[in-house]
Structure 1
Amino acid sequence: LRHDIVQVLCKFEMIFPPTFFTSMMHVMVHLPQEALLAGPVNYRWMYPIERLLRELKKSVRNRAKPEGSIIEAWVQYESLTFCGMYLKDVETAFNRPQRNNEGGMRKEKLSVFAQSARPFGDPGRGESFSRNDMEVAHWFVLNNCDEIMAYLDEHEEMMKREHPSHLVAQKQRELFPQWFLESVNKLKSSNSPTYNDELYNLAFGPIRAELFSGCYINGVKFLGAARDDKLCTQNSSVHVPGGGESTNIDFYGKLTNVAQLLYKDRYQVIMFKCRWFDSNPNRPESVKIDHGLLSVNINRTWYDDDPYILANMATQIVYLDDPKAGSGWKVVQKMDHRNVYAIPELDPTDNDIDNVADQRLESSMENDAETLRDTHVIQEPFQIQGVSSIEIPIQSITIDLGDLPRFDVAM
């Protein structure tokens, strides 16, 4: 646009009358440069200010004294806001449950059982959960539980010794669940301190599963594609960053339904069943990157036999039509959700969590001290060839504060 806008306006002059070319048409010449200098316009437009002015105008009750009405209304608002932060057992804007409430924090120790998620809605017609789906979903749970990675590594080494390399992954997937259950039973019989009921219930496997059409998790609402396609909004698009052997490949898909695996003692795991689009960059006609925009081909899928992920792995995105690539291609648009912030969590096992602020303060003071020490370094004199240097001793330096007030501190 920056290179072509001048020619475009010149061609417009051959078609439209002079009254068409107002200041709004001329501003297009400067918009590309402004976008390059200042970035997206939504970070600097005046809509928030205009909305605030609208709220202030609504508080005017006496048109003869609008400023007094605005001040009185603003004082009342500030007073109510201040009081609302300290009221107990009264619903205010500060303690009201969020719209996408996932049910609060859970107390389970295993990460797969501790998901804060709340499924809802009846599944779509024809949706079922077979025994094979149960095994596939349970294997994904086992393979993504951080607490049993040591068991997975031990069993993998065992499979490497007993089977050829091309059969290791298949044999581990077939034999690990039963081997893991036997290992946990041995820990239980020997009264090992590493044994706990959650570990046993995970090894025992899911008893049954329930299907839902949507889920609240991490303050975000997800809907299955069958239900989402009937709405104007879009809540079924899913993105999962690459992990394991696919660290450089991100996964994009659409949520089809939500499965809740029920284990013994009312333990549960929320799973997302998705239709994954082929996003392997090494395959032609899978993904395209044009001017920093990523497009995926929704007509090509993969991982049809392994469609499940843990609900807390999913990030919601939006798919937009790609008119340049044609039908079947969607542009991936990532977004930030309202009141959802990506704040890194501190390790609760770290004993120095309470001293994080002190450590940062000490680090800041050390950096300031380094800066002060650097100011004491005397720079080498600048020598000009052919001109003799003159050294002028400085006894003291006086700084004129002008009209600034002076305060005498009593010692």
Structure 2
Amino acid sequence: METYLVVLLKDIKLVQYAANDTPSHRLKNGHKICYIGHRKWLPINHPYRRQRAAFNGKPEYGIPPESLTGEEVLHMVENGDRVCWKKKSIFFDLEYWKYLPVRHALDVMHIEKNVCDSIIGTLLEIPGKNKDGIAARLDLLNMGVKTDLQPEYGERRTRLPHGPRNLSRAEKREVCNSFYGMKVPEGYSSNIKNLVSLQDSRLLGLKSHDCHTLMQQLLPVAIRSVLEKPARYAITRLCFFFNAICAKTVDVSKLDNLEEDVVVTLCLLEKYFPPSFFDIMVHLVVHLVREVRLCGPVYFRWMYPFERYMKVLKGYVQNRTRSEGCIAERYIAEEAVEFCTQHLSDVSTVGVPSSQKMGVSKPLSGCTNTEEVLPYIEQHMIHIKTAYPKFRKRTKWLQDKHNSTFIQWLRFKVQSELEEDNHGVSENLRWLAAGPNMAVPLYRSYLIKGIKFNIKAQDDVRTTQNSGVYLLAQTMQVASAKDKNPILSNMGFYGVIQEIWDLDYQKFTIPVFRCDWIDSSGLVVDELGFTLVDLSKIGHRNDQFVLASQVKQIFFVDDPMHRGWSVVLSMPNREYNDVIGDEVLGDVIIECEPFTRGMPNVDTFDELVGELGGQNIRDGCEDIWIE
């Protein structure tokens, strides 16, 4: 049987990844290899591919359009010619190695972290992570592009003109204040507030998962009010790409467009970021879609579960001089205890947390979603049309009448059926018709399906936010108050939990949320697909209750561009095995806006940003001075 070997790449600089890769260029002043000229990955008829002059009428970094093949690179390595690759991997000596479609499994976790560090370090000018500086400006001058950004030397200090990717002091403070004020749901990420240094306007101590959450959702919100549109939208497109590539489910038919979009995004970033920004980690973003096409979703291959398990193994160490022995002894002891628990009853496993999928309660899906109740709903609608023949064609009136009289009608209907022999009324339907206990307990927090919900008063005194909910419901939509022909369709509602009730039906309990729902006048979707809400505009006061099993948890982040408005962000689905489509909650498919809308294409992007005009220096910003 033929054996296939996939290597987790630790140092991509030492191995040729693809046979026809993007041309590389060794920077003279930065002393590093940059990967630029990503237009060669676009189709020949693409508008960006046909443009020869992207930087003030000069060739793009002076890189020829064609690159060497894999065999030519290996030949140059064997003959001692100077190339960027320093070593030929021994795996190329394997007979089947050249037939493998995927030779190296790229580590998406560290690629995403390094790209995030490069973007944030360049925007906030963090020492050690900033890709812009005197060396980067001299490299631009050496290539003959963007000469207006060259450094100007003085007697004591050097002046660097403000480029399209540089933020002013006020913009840096605004970005840091935006991160500092973010409250995310419990378990979503670490406390973002602890990562922000307002005094230095920096982000410090970012871990891999912190960079993951920033690139997925938080960074596009934080930079909404800074930079100019071209540079800001290019960074936002890259964040949209990482969100799409890390989805639980992947639509294969959209991979070709996604691959073209990420190449266009890198081409746009080449216009605004220096060549030192495009190291090997930024370039590897091009290959991620190809590996998804061949290997499947990213979460099957990234390093998060391995890193978490390594933390468990490191926790076994008690004697640092004999770390391997501690790990082996503790692991064997845990396996032995685990084997013994299989022969005992009512014993939980050791070291493995119990699943919270079922949550605290096992609520019903609701009266309108229970198959036992659906026949009674149809009978009640027929009863209303028969009793009020004048209103048979008024859909909205019939629906309002049904909502106000159904419970009382169901109670009498079930009681009359119970008096008959062989009635066939189930136990759940009997208790539902009888109604809940009038003494209703209230909770400040509630755990259901592994998700923790809090009331608004509880979130106000905590560092997390678990009170936001989203409901996708089928409702009647009217154009105005005089519209007598409503349309029945799905509509999304955004709200904040004010109270949590637990209705007791003797045999079972049903958790219910009383929410403040946002009025339609306080709901806006911007050009990039972000949903903005005004939390002060409360509507739907006559229908505030919703079943806990029918909502999806969301959270709100203050919009730095529009005061008083908040950006809606959704929680990722943690149940991998239950995913059908994009995001599934019960019988309702929830779309995560704005990332399911897709990235803007080239034409749309050009319409959004307008004409660039070839201007490389930002006006109205203070200059950068280096001692």
TM-score range, shorter chain: 0.5 to 0.7
Name 2:524's counterpart in structure 1: 287
Instruction: Give per-residue Cα distances to partners, 1:156-191, cap 9 Å, x unaligned.
Output: 123234141433223223333332222222212222
Determine the structure 2 residue equivalent to 1:250. Answer: 492
- Written as runs of structure 1 = structure 2, the 5 A alignment for 1:8-407 is 10=137, 14=151, 15=159, 26-27=276-277, 34-35=284-285, 37-38=287-288, 49=306, 52-53=309-310, 56=313, 70-84=327-341, 87-93=344-350, 97-98=354-355, 102-103=359-360, 114=364, 142-161=367-386, 162=388, 163-164=390-391, 165-166=393-394, 167-210=397-440, 211-243=442-474, 247-263=489-505, 265=506, 267-278=508-519, 286-337=523-574, 341-342=577-578
CA distance in 1, matches of 2:312, 2:427: 56
Q: How far apart, CA to CA, are the structure 2 residues paired with 1:59 and 1:94? A: 11
The structure showing larger relative contact order (alpha-carbon pairs under 8 Å, at least 6 residues apart) is: 2
Corresponding residue SS for 1:228:
helix
Instruction: State the TM-score, normalizing by the size of structure 1.
Output: 0.58
Amino acid at match of 1:157: I
Residues 194 and 48 (structure 1), Cα distance of their counterparts in 2 relative to 1, 3 Å cut = closer
What SS does structure 2 have at the residue aligned with 1:215? Answer: strand
How far 1:198 moved relative to its partner?
3.8
| Contact 1:219–1:340 under 8 Å retained in 2 | no
Letter in 1 for 2:523: S
**Aligned equivalents of 1:273 and 1:185: distance in 2?**
30
Matched letter for residue 349 of structure 2: T
Instruction: Rate the CA distance shift 1:59–1:151 in 2: closer, same or farther, 3 A.
Output: closer
Q: Is the 8 A contact 1:85 1:94 kept in 2?
A: no
Question: Share of identical aligned residues, percent?
Answer: 26
- Could you tell me how far 1:72 is from its partner in structure 2? 4.8
Gaps of 5+ in 2: 1-37, 39-53, 56-118, 123-130, 138-147, 152-158, 162-273, 293-297, 477-487, 581-627
Q: Give the direction of change, closer, same or farther, for the CA distance of 1:228–1:86 in structure 2 (3 Å limit).
A: farther
Q: Distance in 1 between matches of 2:364 and 2:303?
A: 43
Deviation for aligned residue 1:313: 1.1
Offset, 1:75: 4.2
Name the amino acid aligned to 1:226.
A
The one-letter amino acid of 2:377's match is L
| Alpha-carbon distance, 1:322 to partner | 2.6
The amino acid of 2:398's aligned partner reads V
What is the CA–CA distance in structure 2 between the aligned matches of 1:48 and 1:201, rounded to whole Å?
A: 45
User: For residues 174 and 97 of structure 1, what CA distance do their matches in structure 2 show?
Assistant: 42
Q: What is the distance in 2 between the residues matched to 1:96 and 1:234? A: 24
- Number of aligned positions between the proteins: 298
Return the alpha-carbon distance in structure 2 between the equivalents of residues 50 and 199 of structure 1: 49
Instruction: State the partner residue of 2:101.
Output: none
* SS in structure 2 of the partner of residue 242 of structure 1: strand
Quote the Cα distance in structure 1 between the aligned partners of 2:527 and 2:511: 36
Contact kept in structure 2, 1:272 and 1:310, CA below 8 Å: yes
Deviation at 1:226, TM superposition (A): 0.8
**Separation of aligned partners in 1, 2:321 and 2:351:** 35
**Measured at CA, do residues 56 and 248 of structure 1 come closer, stay the same or move farther in structure 2, by a change above 3 Å?**
same
Q: In 2, Cα distance between the equivalents of 1:309 and 1:343?
A: 23
Q: Secondary structure of the residue that 1:299 maps to in structure 2?
A: coil
Structure 2 contact 554–568 (Cα < 8 Å) conserved: no
Residue 85 of structure 1, CA deviation: 5.1
Deviations 1:247-281 (A, max 9, x none): 54222211111112334x45543211111223x5x
The structure-2 alpha-carbon separation of the partners of 1:314 and 1:208, relative to structure 1 and needing over 3 Å to count, comes to: same
Q: Secondary structure at the match of 2:398?
A: helix
Equivalent position SS for 1:295:
strand
Change (3 A) 1:73 1:149: closer
Deviations 1:168-226, CA, capped at 9 Å, x for gaps: 22322333333222222221222242234543432233340412222221122211111
Change (3 A) 1:74 1:193: same
Relative to structure 1, the CA distance from residue 47 to residue 158 in structure 2 (aligned partners, 3 Å threshold; closer, same or farther) is closer
Decide whether aligned partners of structure 1 residues 99 and 231 sit closer, same or farther in structure 2, where only a CA change above 3 A counts: farther
Aligned equivalents of 1:97, 1:274: Cα separation in 2: 30
2:280 and 2:548 map into 1 onto residues whose CA distance is 46
Counterpart contact for 1:214–1:257, Cα < 8 Å: no
CA shift digits 1:340-396 (9 cap, x unpaired)? 75257xxxxxxxxxxxxxxxxxxxxxxxxxxxxxxxxxxxxxxxxxxxxxxxxxxxx
Contact 1:297/1:330 (<8 A) preserved: no
Q: Partners in 2 of 1:158 and 1:294 — Cα distance?
A: 41
Find the aligned partners of 1:205 and 1:153 in 2 and give their Cα distance.
Answer: 20
Letter in structure 1 aligned against 2:561: K
Report the 3-state secondary structure (helix = DSSP H, G, I; strand = E; otherwise coil) of the residue aligned with 2:537.
coil
Give the Cα–Cα distance (whole angstroms) in 2 for the partners of residues 197 and 68 of structure 1: 58
Q: Does the C-alpha gap of structure 1 residues 154 and 28 become closer, same or farther in structure 2, counting only changes over 3 Å?
A: same
User: How far apart are the structure 2 equivalents of 1:30 and 1:298?
Assistant: 43
